[in-house]
Amino acid sequence: MKASEIREMSSEELQTKLTELKEELFNLRFQLAVNQLENSSRIGAVKKDIARVSTILRQRELDSAAV
């Protein structure tokens, strides 16, 4: 997921997406623990997506507080 795609989403959609990504990360870590994970690079990709969404949410929060 690209940052430009994330910026087009509303804040409510971003909150929902963040929750979904955290659930996915939990499931991936669980699969890793029981040796059922096929693509371990997906964990890193999900963590980066979580960081992107969190960053954009924080930027919007700061922008609204500054105005």
- Model confidence at 67: pLDDT above 80: no
Domain count, the chain: 1
pTM to 2 decimals?
0.91
Q: What is the mean pLDDT of the chain?
A: 95
- Evaluate the CA torsion angle 37, 42, 46, 47 in order and state its sign: positive
- Integer CA distances (angstroms), 51 to 14, 43, 56, in order: 12, 12, 9
- Model confidence at 51: pLDDT above 80: yes
Q: What is the mean pLDDT of residues 9-25?
A: 97
Give the rounded distance of the alpha carbon of 30 from its chain centre.
18
CATH number at residue 9: 1.10.287.310
Range of the domain at 43: 3-66
pLDDT at position 48 is 97
- Model confidence at 25: pLDDT above 80: yes
Three-state DSSP state, 13: helix
- Distance separating alpha carbons of residues 43 and 25, to the nearest angstrom: 6
